[in-house]
Amino acid sequence: MKSKFVLFLITISLLSCKESNKIERENQPTIYSLTNEDKDMNAAIEKANQTLADFNKGLSNPKAEAQALKVKFPYSDGNEHMWVGNIEFKDGKYSGILNNDPEYVTEYKSGDKVVIDPSKISDWMYLENGKLFGGYTIRVLRDQMSEEERKQFDEESGMQID
């Protein structure tokens, strides 16, 4: 389940606040781009930040798996939001491993260890028995998919989303 989930995170990992569209890359994960004015996405990011304490509970829950934070990485034309896994929380600071290669940000690559500024967190998630907790931006992107895309997404992710 864990390797399948990492592939899933990579598939939906990038969110650029540049323009609104879906970017499909050959042999690379799909990138979903949204504008800064996307009300649903902004509400999801706000909810994620308001409920970050729930993520911290998930970090110490032995039944929780695949804990990850989505982090905003600024670049010259906007922001790129990417998932960071293998999260550690020490001395009030988060750190983890970047799960994918960025499309726009040039100073990081997949596998880099990053220290996470809490003000840059745009989402959090973990799974418990296959059920998604958090993942507010995932839910927004899923809701914007066509019925066919959503069905494929659900099958490939293997997650239970309420």
Largest CA distance in the chain: 44
**C-alpha–C-alpha distance, residues 32 and 38, integer Å:** 12
Count structural domains, the chain.
1
Show the domain range for 23. 2-149
Rounded mean pLDDT for each run of 10 residues along the chain, 162 residues in total: 45 41 57 66 95 94 94 91 93 91 90 95 95 94 88 87 87
User: Is residue 118 in a domain?
Assistant: yes
User: Is residue 158 in a domain?
Assistant: no
- Asked if residues 70 and 80 have their Cβ atoms less than 8 Å apart, the reply is no
User: Is residue 54 in a domain?
Assistant: yes
User: Is residue 31 in a domain?
Assistant: yes
Structure tokens at 120: 């840059």
Burial code of 126-160, b = ≥16 C-beta within 10 A, e = fewer? bbeeeebbbbbbbbbbbebeeeeeeeebeeebebe
User: Is residue 145 in a domain?
Assistant: yes
Give the per-residue pLDDT at 28.
53
Give the per-residue pLDDT at 21.
60
- Asked if residues 96 and 150 have their Cβ atoms less than 8 Å apart, the reply is no
Could you count the other beta carbons within 10 Å of the beta carbon of residue 31? 21
**Sign of the C-alpha dihedral, residues 7, 14, 49, 40?**
negative
